[in-house]
Structure 1
Amino acid sequence: MSTHNLSKPKGLLIDLDGTLYHGERKIDGADEWIAGLREVKLPYLFVTNNSTAAPGVVADRLNRMGIPAAADDVVTSAQAAAAYIARIRPGASVHILGETGLKEAAVEAGLNIEALERPDFVLQGIDRELNYEKLKRTVALLLNGTEYILTNPDVLLPSDDGLLPGAGSLSALLQTASGVKPTIIGKPSNILVEFALDRMGLKAEETWMVGDNMATDIAAGRSAGCGTALVLTGITNTGNLDRFRAQTGIEPDGIFADLRELNTYIFSLLGT
């Protein structure tokens, strides 16, 4: 473990994929850690770049692993993206390239997801039923000037089958075809983090961002002004840590081998 400038937190923003689980497999100590946070009433939110599932579905998945969770504990890039559009253009029409979680978030934000000839925005996440017709329609809209919002830039998505192409991989195709750059909502952008902070009612400097990915979780936390705690349980590990340091130019405020080490450190700060 290496720690630097982490002070006692008033709240935590916690990544999911690679931090609490891999696919349907719980990471060792995740259930004990979250149960402990609930016991001492330290506020936290689960903050995920994954736009495929609604918060209730994510919470159900966590509960099946023995990690206590409710829908209100979950913040997704889909929710933040829909809220971003609704804030700058209430009731906007959107063409969605994505799955159920993204569509539900758009509807809940009051956006129009009907198939319009000239929607205001292209809203893109991951779409595991992608086909050429969907790509053709989306590229045509971008070429005609439709504004482009991307839920998250992850090129890979952890799963039980290993790493799969993520929303960022689809976006690379769309950007190459259209020449249009998206507004990015998810980590490493600070838009998702600030959306979560607003939900918790805490300031960035009072909050830690906890995650396994230097290039997304830690970069987003740093950009927003949060303390950053890296756990070497997922994308970043002891073998590639130095490469990620060089690639990102970022040093986390704390580095922890696993969740149990992180748990011990947090509770020492809390005095429990």
Structure 2
Amino acid sequence: MLKLHDVTKEFRVGAFGGRRVAAVKGVTFEVVPGEVVSLIGESGSGKSTIGRMILGLNPVTSGSITFDGLPVKPGKEYYRRVQGIFQDPFSSFNPVFKADRVFAMIKETYHASVPAPQWAERVEAALRDVRLNPGQVLGKYPHQLSGGQLQRLLIARALLLDIKLLVADEITSMLDASTRIDVLNLLAELKARGLSVLYITHDLSLGNYLAERTVVLRKGGVVEMGPTGSVFGDPLHPYTRELLSAVPRLHEPWDDAVPVETCLYHRKGGSGGLYEATPGHFVACARLETC
């Protein structure tokens, strides 16, 4: 369904844009229907840039992104099938308008012919699908609602479009622990209905909880990807092991960071510099920037 092939994104920096910096380097992966894929990496690894390119908010410098076999083309028809939700839910709402204005905008743009009473029923049904009480959120201003309620309002908005792919960029990082689990369980329920999700996060535990497949980014490039159980249970790349060792564990001392080893897979072939160590489990050179 969604395919990224050798995608690179460069930004101009410095005085008069004289220098170019690659934020994403030769990234290749795909998301199939009804699948949750976690895109994991530290801050600055290129995760959000990839999400913005998929949503058509940033152009691709080279490579290609296709959806259902067609190049990504931002516009009304594309956003009917692909939507994004971002880290700060408050930034998605205009504070001078009531929060449910997002539903009015969807109606005006995509469902103008639907009678008002029928649209109200659809909105209430979508809110119940995301475990919100319509009477408690409709007619409220954003500052009167919690971050979790606002994130669920945005998911309800996406449901009203009957989307196929949701790009969820750090959508739980500003929520408390209990609300975070509610939102993740909601995404799991939507996946069971056939929705595909690209879950962008720096939190390994949440990615492990939700996704069937995991893609690990480092400095803009993919260093490891495969079934989540394999990536977390048998991490092959030193960077992946370093990330896992940094996850705090109750009643255990924290381990020191795992040092980067000598390259194990230098020049071993495979697309995008990835080596297929076991079926479906790919790993990159341990020293991408020097090999």
TM-score by length of 1: 0.33
The structure carrying a bigger strand percent of its residues is 2
The structure carrying a bigger helix percent of its residues is 1
Structure number with bigger Rg: 2
TM-score by length of 2: 0.31
